[in-house]
Structure 1
């Protein structure tokens, strides 16, 4: 707590001022967390001062907005604390650090804090400005991606809040970027990419292997299914899920938590995308039958937790997607089951797109409109696939990855 508080003071986060009458003063609290690596070993103990941003008033104290080198992993310590505030925000003195001589004073914030509604936006604006000064340009296809393309030098930076992946074809330029960022922010160089947002990254020669084994094991433990008997598929071929198909499940919060975690697992496990999409459709009113379907997915993961997604270096750059008309198939294709949902008669569509032999994008979800024929359902699925292919073409063009042939669908 003292380390975090000292960092806030050094950063010029606030000024202690008398309380302004009739002003909205935001409360705060301390949040504690253990930072672990992919093996579960504790790396450090962290205390973070978090504001109760839900007490902010729109238009008063925040503005509403609609809304071939091994990759290097960076961590920006106290990231949100670097964002500059343009609104007037008052904060209660933090628990444990109240000035006894000025009990009625509050902090006038100059910098953002975790929990403030505008904190993510303020931090992103500050980081974007720093990266632009270093020669990076924001991607037009992915707002979290920044690209520095200068002559033969190529640098890519992917940003998720305070976790950053940096890679490129010039080690000197990468070192220059890290050193420059270190002068503005507290940057921690975590070495070659190995564990990022719950995804384990390992190298096999020039190939990259993605896995969520640790995340899956923790999910199974939280669901008390670590010793469950594995099954061979995430969903039975005759599974029929519908609203009110059985008695209401008595713990909907647990259902929400597990299904939300399963959605994250689909980042590296396309084999469960269809089954997870089905159980996601009943988050608002889960039944015992829906819960059984979720447990089957977990039991499938119990037996396949070591499955990985392999990205091969020498796989080619030809974009192609696959299509199939089989409704219940759980393999890789663009698929549509006409009027498959008994509740709203909307079809389920999906696709899988490959760059060379690497699976890079997949989806299984209910279509937005009701199709009046199986042909229309198939065309809607194809249209969704073409939209994703077009987006991937634009992204690869920005990354200066040559795609010399027209994608095959």
Structure 2
């Protein structure tokens, strides 16, 4: 060991610094690292995205570079392989990095390619989770939830090890990045993190059993020339029996590929079925507006007005007809921005039958036949191939890694 540059003590040249705490483990370390990397990219002519602060864009006369950063892991893409290689070499001159080639593994997400399509899955992550919870050898379940199983806050006995429950549910939250089919049940389990009971642990074990039978499933992204944005939104009135709050969910498709979804518990009690459906429309509209801004930053133009499909006529009239103002005085003003979006022609509302509403999967427990029917509309498909050997990615298959 030797004294670090800038702290050399000529009087005691053989002494070294005693480490009291590693800077790498501090909460400020990722932020400090990101500031250093982002300032370098900005100096090189990149612009930080307004919609996503972790994305940096560089537009040349004929070339485009997009850099996505998560602490010291990055993804680099663009329309010129020569410029990408040049940028990596330039980055290597400032930071110590490893170029691991084509993206195949990123933050626990496995990327597979097949005939122009991309499949995002978390098979290895799910396998490790099942082994950690000793659920790998259990019998798989057909659905992640049970129809008619409405749990109350104090159902079951308090769990002795609440940390284990929170750890497993937190891991399941990460699985929803590529598995929208479990978004509703995982959101349900997350609502009882403070005082989990044995009844809710059975719900978590049901989710794990479902994942055991669908480990190879992942999100399929396929190329398409039909550049459109479509959204589906649904809600379940008073679904939470303890406080009578409603559940709402939406699915957003870009070029026929599912790119965004959500299953949430509404924060206030709705006074009517029209109101809770209206709130669900607002959440989906906000996501579509954000997506439009993101595509504009990427210089991608959408030739058609986005479509938002719903299954409630009353919510449609509330969003489109200002004559209903007197009936909506109890609704917050900020929720009425959807009415402004419709009147300005920024979004179109269309009615869809409840039987054909795929977002129904994000608001309630369904029968196995109904669940599998709606799951087929979520762009979920098995991986085209498996990883080798013990199902662990090789070192050279990991993401590009920038080390401090």
Q: TM-score when scaled to structure 2?
A: 0.72
The CA deviation string for residues 292-345 of structure 1, in whole angstroms up to 9 with x for no partner, is 0000000000001111211002252200011xxxxxxxxxxx221112112222
Look up the match of 1:128.
Answer: 38
Secondary structure (helix, strand or coil) at the match of 1:114 reads helix
Deviation at 1:102, TM superposition (A): 3.9
Per the alignment, do residues 253 and 107 of structure 1 end up closer, same or farther by CA in structure 2, a change over 3 Å counting?
closer
Consecutive unaligned residues of structure 1, counting only runs of 5 or more, are: 19-98, 323-333
Look up the match of 2:257.
Answer: 358
- Aligned partners of 1:130 and 1:181 also within 8 Å: no
Secondary structure (helix, strand or coil) at the match of 2:111 reads strand
Q: TM-score when scaled to structure 1?
A: 0.71
Deviation at 1:15, TM superposition (A): 2.8
Deviation at 1:108, TM superposition (A): 11
Q: Which residue, 285, 288, 302 being the options, matches 1:403? A: 302
Look up the match of 2:226.
Answer: 316
After superposition, residues 86-101 of structure 1 pair within 5 angstroms as none
Consecutive unaligned residues of structure 2, counting only runs of 5 or more, are: 309-404
Alpha-carbon distance in 1 for matches of 2:54, 2:172: 23
Look up the match of 1:379.
Answer: 278
Look up the match of 1:84.
Answer: none
Look up the match of 2:169.
Answer: 259
Q: Which residue, 148, 153, 162 being the options, matches 1:238? A: 148
- Aligned partners of 1:157 and 1:164 also within 8 Å: yes
Per the alignment, do residues 346 and 17 of structure 1 end up closer, same or farther by CA in structure 2, a change over 3 Å counting?
farther
Secondary structure (helix, strand or coil) at the match of 1:15 reads coil
With 351-360 and 308-317 compared, the bigger mean Cα shift is at 308-317
Secondary structure (helix, strand or coil) at the match of 2:53 reads coil
**Which structure ranks higher in relative contact order (CA pairs < 8 Å, sequence separation ≥ 6)?**
2
With 339-348 and 154-163 compared, the bigger mean Cα shift is at 339-348
* RMSD (Å) for aligned C-alpha atoms: 2.3
Look up the match of 1:182.
Answer: 92
Q: Which residue, 236, 240, 245 being the options, matches 1:341? A: 240
Look up the match of 2:380.
Answer: none
Look up the match of 2:113.
Answer: 203
**More helix per residue:** 2
Per the alignment, do residues 397 and 242 of structure 1 end up closer, same or farther by CA in structure 2, a change over 3 Å counting?
same
The CA deviation string for residues 53-99 of structure 1, in whole angstroms up to 9 with x for no partner, is xxxxxxxxxxxxxxxxxxxxxxxxxxxxxxxxxxxxxxxxxxxxxx9
- Aligned partners of 1:139 and 1:146 also within 8 Å: yes
Structure 1 segments (4+ residues) deviating >6 Å: none
Alpha-carbon distance in 2 for matches of 1:16, 1:373: 72
With 193-202 and 133-142 compared, the bigger mean Cα shift is at 133-142
Aligned residues: 307
Secondary structure (helix, strand or coil) at the match of 1:308 reads strand
The CA deviation string for residues 375-398 of structure 1, in whole angstroms up to 9 with x for no partner, is 100000000000000001111111
The CA deviation string for residues 157-214 of structure 1, in whole angstroms up to 9 with x for no partner, is 1000010000000112111211111111001101100000000001112211111011
Alpha-carbon distance in 1 for matches of 2:141, 2:212: 8
Secondary structure (helix, strand or coil) at the match of 2:100 reads strand
**More strand per residue:** 1
- Aligned partners of 1:209 and 1:310 also within 8 Å: yes
User: Are 1:300 and 2:292 matched, yes or no?
Assistant: no
Alpha-carbon distance in 1 for matches of 2:98, 2:44: 18
Deviation at 1:368, TM superposition (A): 1.9
Secondary structure (helix, strand or coil) at the match of 2:35 reads helix
Alpha-carbon distance in 1 for matches of 2:225, 2:208: 32
Alpha-carbon distance in 1 for matches of 2:65, 2:159: 50
